[in-house]
Amino acid sequence: MSTAGFVSARALGLAGCEACGLVVRLPAAGGVDHCPRCGERLHSRRPASIERSWALAITALVLYVPANLLPVMTTNTPLGAVSDTIMQGVVELWSPTSWPLAIVVFVASVTIPLGKLIALAYLLLTVQRGSVRSNAQRVRLYRLLRFIGRWSMLDVFVDTFVVALIQLRPLMWVEPGAGVIFFAGVVVVTMLAVNSFDPRLIWDLPQQERHGDG
Amino acid sequence: MAPAGRPATTGAAVADAAVADRGLVACPDCDLLQRLPLVPLRQTARCARCRAPLWRHKPDSLERTLALALAAAILLLIANVVPMLGLSVAGREAFTTVVGGVVAMWREGSQVVAMLVLFAAVIAPAVEIACLLLVVLAVRRPPAPHWVATLLHGYEFVREWSMIEIMLLGVLVALIKIAELATVIPGLALFVLGSLVFLLAAMAATFDPRLAWERIEWAAGSDQGGGARALR
């Protein structure tokens, strides 16, 4: 979609407050200003949006490795202990009756975090290259990321309640594995990474971007 | 669907008047400056460029939000005191609540995860409901004092981290995982939480933040009406 004919608030020295929506004139000299209505800090674009998003996305990618390789829970019985990673948990859930839930867990725990990182990297790269193509699709992708990201937390809740219920020592008890912490970290950090990304950057023309203000 | 706002025309003259004009909005997703059109009841004004929803005209927003928030507060209280899941195996029974899950996780050595679950499943929903309840009560008599703005900020921040619906799905999966090992007894809290998911969704859908912001005293003095402060 072309951006011709449309005027952004920034082009007129204005900014919509991200908290309350009030349209405010930014100080001409630059620098920090606060919304006169709600008191939140005002910025035309979120400061260091691209750098923060990249840093958090890379952190999430690093955490993603132990999150999937380390066990998320260990089941203890008098016969010994069995440890499960996230993927093994999905496989165990796969049965003639509960396979739909296995798919849900797989999508929430494996597909969404990884897909989110790939999609975010795509958004960041296209913004950095000053792309002006398929803006409408890219902003829709951003909204999708914000909407589905939280659902990755599913496996953290599953582990918590399995651990809470199966405490029948010495018959059988379940302990959380080290993988849960890393996995929870992946979910939180990817959510923060998407929140740091400023979708308004998608619509900025390349020459405007070089000014880079806060 | 209502027709989207006209894009503002170019020129400094428009910009100077713009800020005083409270009908002017900058799209949060694409920064397009536009004027909100007259929106019929129960319809949404969308951004002319990126189709982001800008404002929805909600009937009796504050009254309805108050009712839903009150109901949600009561349900959240019940959901956290009655048992959620029970387990019966070899003649032994064990029950747990939401907080019971957190405590078990804490004791078994995952304190960080325990705190995250406590925050997402108990604290964040409680803060979400409490903030919104106080906000809709306070803005009934405008101008509401400025501390209400802090509550409204808190509500907006915590909403994303309030994950009751995800926890409920997690409990369901846990239940099926356990079902092959022992008999699972669903508790009252499970049904209360199920209703709470719908109440929270309705509460968020009914609340009109734009209306609430208009009724809150400004941070920069008590200038409610004029755009003079915004213009400076």
Whether residue A84 sits in one domain with residue A27 = no
Which of B173, B180, B216, B222 is the best substitution to test chain A (most A C-beta atoms within 10 A)? Answer: B173
Whether residue B65 sits in one domain with residue B151 = yes
A212, part of any domain: no
Q: Which residues of A touch B212 (CB under 8 A)?
A: none
A2, part of any domain: no
> Taking CB atoms and an 8 Å limit, are A38 and B216 in contact across chains?
yes
> Taking CB atoms and an 8 Å limit, are B18 and A23 in contact across chains?
yes
A25: closest chain B residue by CA:
B231
In 3D space, the residue among B29, B36, B40, B28 whose CA is nearest the CA of residue B2 turns out to be B40
Q: Which residues of B touch A18 (CB under 8 A)?
A: 28
Residue A33 pairs in a beta bridge with: A42
Whether residue B105 sits in one domain with residue B196 = yes
> Taking CB atoms and an 8 Å limit, are A150 and B163 in contact across chains?
yes
Higher per-residue pLDDT: A3 or B164? B164
Strands annotated E in B38-90: 44-46, 53-56, 85-89
Taking the CA of residue B137 and the nearest CA in chain A, the distance in Å comes to: 18
Positions of chain B with pLDDT under 50: 1-18, 222-232
> Taking CB atoms and an 8 Å limit, are B216 and A92 in contact across chains?
no
Interface check for A213 against chain B (CB to CB < 8 A): the answer is no
Nearest Cβ partner for A163 among B31, B49, B105: B105
Query: What is the predicted pLDDT for the residue at B120?
Result: 96
User: What is the value of ipTM here, to two decimals?
Assistant: 0.88
In this structure, what CATH number is given to the domain that contains residue A157?
A: 1.20.140
Strands B33-35 and A41-42: unpaired
Whether residue B38 sits in one domain with residue B126 = no
- CB atoms under 10 Å from CB of A28, counted, come to 7
Interface check for A96 against chain B (CB to CB < 8 A): the answer is no
| Residue A29 near residue A38, CB atoms below 8 Å | no
Whether residue B67 sits in one domain with residue B37 = no
Q: What percent of chain A has pLDDT over 70?
A: 92
> Taking CB atoms and an 8 Å limit, are B52 and A139 in contact across chains?
yes
Which of A141, A160, A173 is the best substitution to test chain B (most B C-beta atoms within 10 A)? Answer: A160
Strands B92-96 and B85-89: antiparallel
A195, part of any domain: yes
Query: What is the predicted pLDDT for the residue at B58?
Result: 93
Whether residue B81 sits in one domain with residue B150 = yes
Whether residue A60 sits in one domain with residue A151 = yes
Is the pLDDT at A211 greater than 50? The verdict is: no
Whether residue A163 sits in one domain with residue A91 = yes
Is the pLDDT at A3 greater than 60? The verdict is: no
Q: Residue A209: is it exposed, middle or buried by C-beta count within 10 angstroms (0-12/13-18/19+)?
A: middle
Query: What is the predicted pLDDT for the residue at A40?
Result: 87
| Phi, psi values for residue B118, rounded to 5° | -60, -45
A147, part of any domain: yes
Number of domains in chain A: 2
Identity of residue B81: V
Domain that holds residue A56: 47-206
Taking the CA of residue B136 and the nearest CA in chain A, the distance in Å comes to: 16
Whether residue B26 sits in one domain with residue B76 = no
- SS3 assignment, position B57: coil
- SS3 assignment, position B46: strand
A214, part of any domain: no
Query: How is residue B189 written in tokens?
Result: 């809290």
Domain that holds residue B104: 61-214
List the end-to-end C-alpha distance of chain A, in Å, as a whole number.
27
| Residue A120 near residue A56, CB atoms below 8 Å | no
| Residue B215 near residue B139, CB atoms below 8 Å | yes
Interface check for A91 against chain B (CB to CB < 8 A): the answer is no
Could you tell me the pTM of the whole model? Answer: 0.87
> Taking CB atoms and an 8 Å limit, are B89 and A143 in contact across chains?
no
B51, part of any domain: yes
Q: Cα torsion for B129, B130, B132, B138, to the nearest 10°?
A: 160
B226, part of any domain: no
Number of domains in chain B: 2
Taking the CA of residue B180 and the nearest CA in chain A, the distance in Å comes to: 10
Query: What is the predicted pLDDT for the residue at A25?
Result: 86
| Phi, psi values for residue A197, rounded to 5° | -75, 130
B33, part of any domain: yes
Whether residue A65 sits in one domain with residue A16 = no
B106, part of any domain: yes
SS (HEC) of A21-37 = CCEEECCCCCCCEECCC
Whether residue B147 sits in one domain with residue B45 = no
| Residue A75 near residue A47, CB atoms below 8 Å | no
Whether residue A112 sits in one domain with residue A91 = yes
| Residue B7 near residue A5, CB atoms below 8 Å | yes
A83, part of any domain: yes
Which of B39, B57, B75 is the last residue before a domain boundary? Answer: B57
Taking the CA of residue A154 and the nearest CA in chain B, the distance in Å comes to: 5
Whether residue B80 sits in one domain with residue B29 = no
pLDDT-wise least confident of A1-5, A14-18, A67-71, B132-136: A1-5
